[in-house]
Amino acid sequence: MRVVLAPMEGVLDHLMRDLLTQVGGYDLCVTEFVRVVDQVISDKGFYRLCPELINAGVYGCTTKVGTPVRVQLLGQEPDYLAENAVKAIELGSQGIDLNFGCPAKTVNKSRGGAILLKDPENLYRIISAVKAAVPHDAIVSAKMRLGYEDKNLALENAQAVQSAGANELTIHARTKVEGYKPPAHWQWIAKIKEQVTIPIIANGEIWNLADAEQCRLVSNCTDIMVGRGALAVPNLAKIIKRENTKMPWQEVRLLLAKYTEYETSGAKNKYYPNRIKQWLKYLKLQYVEADELFSEIRTLKTAQAIQEKL
């Protein structure tokens, strides 16, 4: 079984990837999406969202503890996506992931993310172009939802992904319209798995060991991807692999302190108040203490004031 850390725009950045992979249990990380429009992104643009590329030539594109990192691209133009995929691989990315799942309105309005699930033929063109452009041994994966408004094209989209030559497919078991509302329809992943042969990674509504085991049973998948659950319980991957039990709050507090040190000493210092509050919103789903701490810092505006509370 592999446990993959999900790409979450504005949440699971390189600092959080570093922190959570240090806790352990993750076999792969996928970056926040790199938006591709009509040009090849500069080295600096790739380094901004995936700093792990900077020393990829020496250490490989990994987090500090050696967990592989794969760049995710989002766009709708096959040729530009292909050119940027080549660039990302040349910089050292451990494969390319293509985003067909982002539900954000601004992304969908500009023909990116989940809206592409309305057009299986375009999925095929995009993946075919990327696969043809990158080296033969480079992994090309895709992440999709079950559809946009409904699930009518779920099988056709998955078949298009496979026919185009993708090496693996992650399926978030909800439509764009369903967003993040429970339940996740893991049984649909099993239906898709009956029709395609490439490896499938199951994703959606995995918060604990019981969820992970039920997801694997219902979806008939070995590998799973976790996102929000990983933020709510930082050692979720190890729990899922039965290597550990839920991290006690005292250890979570140490992680919060470490994350604070990361955020306030780097270029993202000005975002720290929002970032720490955002993480606490997830943590309070599993820890009463996080709810109490969030209440104490909710109205604080500066990093210094929040640090003092912590």
Residue 61 phi, psi dihedral angles, 5° rounding: -80, 90
208-220 pLDDT, tens digit per residue, is 999 999 999 999 9
**Confidence category of residue 267, pLDDT binned at 50, 70, 90:** low
Name 63's Cβ contacts closer than 8 Å, sequence gap at least 6: 14, 17, 18, 21, 22, 29, 52, 69
Per-residue pLDDT at 41: 97
113-157 pLDDT, tens digit per residue, is 999 999 999 999 999 999 999 999 999 999 999 999 999 999 999
- What average pLDDT does the segment 39-61 reach? 95
Q: Is the pLDDT of residue 244 over 90?
A: yes
Q: Are 169 and 196 within 8 A, CB to CB?
A: yes
Q: Is the pLDDT of residue 13 over 90?
A: yes
Q: Is the pLDDT of residue 236 over 90?
A: yes
Please, what is the average pLDDT of the chain?
95
Give this prediction's pTM: 0.95
Per-residue pLDDT at 102: 94
Alpha-carbon gap, residue 22 to 259, rounded angstroms? 12
- What average pLDDT does the segment 11-16 reach? 93
What percent of the chain shows pLDDT beyond 90? 89
Rounding to the nearest 10 degrees, give the CA dihedral for residues 203, 206, 210, 215.
Answer: -20
Per-residue pLDDT at 309: 86
Q: To which residue do tokens 């095929």 refer?
A: 124
Give the active site residues.
Answer: 102
Per-residue pLDDT at 268: 61
65: helix, strand or coil: coil
54-91 pLDDT, tens digit per residue, is 999 888 999 999 999 999 999 999 999 999 999 999 99
E strand segments, the chain: 3-5, 28-35, 69-74, 96-100, 140-145, 168-172, 200-203, 223-226
> Which residues lie across from 72 on neighbouring strands?
33, 97
186-202 pLDDT, tens digit per residue, is 999 999 999 999 999 99
Name 305's Cβ contacts closer than 8 Å, sequence gap at least 6: 297
In terms of C-beta distances under 8 Å and separation of at least 24 residues, what long-range contacts does 220-224 make, across chains too?
220/189, 220/190, 220/193, 221/189, 221/193, 222/1, 222/2, 223/1, 223/2, 223/3, 223/4, 223/199, 224/1, 224/2, 224/3, 224/4
**Confidence category of residue 266, pLDDT binned at 50, 70, 90:** low
